């Protein structure tokens, strides 16, 4: 399992590839971009995708759960 420290040592191309190899969890929209959330072992990664340009513009990785809050609004619970 890759640690955050090992991830930080990768070059930019490798960083994006590592995130894409993670487990897709959710997506959201932000300023016209689609932000995709992945679980990458002990941390999370986000890819910021521009659907008009059809390319990933940037990515970031983070540890902990505080930065997951933008995704909570998209979780739907069935009431019975």
Domains and CATH numbers, the chain: 4-72 (3.30.67)
**pLDDT for the residue 73:** 77
Output the pTM of the full model.
0.87
Mean pLDDT of 47-74: 93
Percentage, residues of the chain above pLDDT 70 = 94
Mean pLDDT of 18-32: 94
How far are the Cα atoms of 9, 33, 44, 45 from residue 36, in angstroms, in the given order?
22, 10, 10, 8
DSSP-based three-state secondary structure for 8: helix
Strand 55-62 relative to strand 33-40, pairing: unpaired
Q: What token pair was written down for 68?
A: 């997951």
What distance in Å separates the CA atoms of residue 71 and residue 49, rounded to the nearest whole number? 16
**Helix ranges restricted to H, 38-79:** 69-72
Mean pLDDT of 66-79: 80
Mean pLDDT of 3-11: 95
């Amino acid at each position: 399992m890759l640690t955050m420290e090992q991830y930080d040592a990768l070059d930019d191309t490798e960083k994006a590839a590592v995130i894409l190899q993670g487990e897709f969890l959710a997506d959201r929209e932000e300023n016209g971009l689609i932000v995709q959330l992945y679980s990458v072992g002990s941390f999370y990664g986000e890819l910021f995708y521009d659907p008009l340009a059809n390319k990933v513009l940037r990515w970031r990785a983070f540890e902990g759960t505080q930065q997951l809050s933008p995704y909570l609004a998209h979780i739907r619970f069935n009431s019975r």
